Structure 1
Amino acid sequence: MRAIARREHYRAGQPQTLQTTALINEAYVKLRKADGWDSRSHFLACAATAMRHILIDAARARLASKRNAPTYSFTQSLDSLAAAVPEDEQVVRLGEALEELKRLDANLAQVVDCRFFAGMDEKETALILGVSDRTIRRWWVQARAWIHHEMAAA
């Protein structure tokens, strides 16, 4: 989980966002109520999704505070968050694009969470989703193309 958190920490807003340990703690708070993990891979995929949501919420909060708008509440104080950086807008746009993708095709969104955010390979992702490696490869190409199109259009 620490490796996932460290990767997401640097991927979403550079070091100005939540520290790795704080990100793990936030993910734990989100995941502690859930039961019935099918496997280690399933847990890590859910943790990656939780971390993505935390980082996107933190980016939104920084952007809102930059505009003197009301802030969002987190288990960690907003005082520990740095001022908004230009990457925050991209992080928020990516989050919005993934939510739209989830509405259109939940499988494609799950592939993005597993491959991009959890760093899983095709075989691990295929096990989680219960499909073949080849299907994962095809979905991954579709998801990346769709996200690229949405990010370029925004």
Structure 2
Amino acid sequence: MLFLKCYEELSKLAHQKLRYEYHAATLDTSALVHEAYLKMESFPDGFEDKNHFMAIAAIVMRRFLVDYARQKSRLKRGGDQIQLTYGAVNQAVYTTPEQVLQLNEALNRLKSMNNRHCRVVEFHFFGGYKHAEIAEMMEVSIDTVRRDWRLAKAWLSKELKS
């Protein structure tokens, strides 16, 4: 089963995303991995390969973290932190649930304009993938991924400031 083969990698990815989460008792690495698995096990067509599986896992984790942020926001627990990467993959940025929701809304707008740019951001932000890995997963050149990343990052920066 592909999930079992990728479990350790998924755990590392989840740990990276949750490392700076202060309420680890309510959301931990295993919970995020298992939530992703539960969502992904119902995919009707399965997965083409490991890269496809991991790409979908990044998207599912994004959606779960956004839902988690919505829940935190609804409960008015201000100050909760969710770690995302921005710029360099290992450079942590501390965000509030409200900021995660703003990012999600901006990504949805970006997706309606350019789906590929949105996927590059998802894989980089939420998946922690490097440009070369994203290029391989999306079957485009690394230059295309770099260009998409620069354009998407600039657009998101402008969008999130307003």
Q: TM-score range by the shorter chain?
A: 0.7 to 0.9
Instruction: Report what 1:141 is aligned to.
Output: 150
* TM value normalised by structure 2: 0.76
Paired positions, count? 135
> CA separation in 2, counterparts of 1:15 and 1:39?
34
Contact 1:63 1:88 in 2 (8 A): yes
Instruction: Report what 2:48 is aligned to.
Output: 38
* Alignment RMSD (CA, Å): 1.6
Does 1:59 pair with 2:69?
yes
> CA separation in 1, counterparts of 2:141 and 2:47?
21
Note the C-alpha offset of 1:127.
1.8
Does 1:85 pair with 2:79?
yes
Structure 2 SS opposite 1:134: helix
2:106 aligned to 93, 97, 102, which one? Answer: 97
> CA separation in 2, counterparts of 1:10 and 1:55?
13
> CA separation in 1, counterparts of 2:121 and 2:41?
23
Choose 18-27 or 117-126, whichever is displaced more. Answer: 117-126
Deviations along 1:46-90, one digit per CA (max 9) or x if unpaired, are: 111111111111111121122xxxxxxxxxxxxxxxx34351111
> CA separation in 2, counterparts of 1:52 and 1:116?
9
> CA separation in 2, counterparts of 1:121 and 1:49?
15
**More helix as a share of residues:** 1
* TM value normalised by structure 1: 0.80
Contact 1:102 1:108 in 2 (8 A): yes
**More strand as a share of residues:** 2
CA shift in 2, pair 1:152/1:10, >3 Å: farther
Contact 1:98 1:109 in 2 (8 A): yes
Identity %: 36
CA shift in 2, pair 1:149/1:10, >3 Å: farther
RCO greater where, 1 or 2, for CA within 8 Å and sep 6 or more?
1
Q: Hey, which bits of structure 1, 4+ residues long, moved more than 3 A? A: none
AA aligned to 2:52 is: H
> CA separation in 2, counterparts of 1:135 and 1:55?
27
Unmatched 5+ stretches in structure 1: 67-82
> CA separation in 1, counterparts of 2:130 and 2:121?
11
> CA separation in 2, counterparts of 1:65 and 1:122?
37
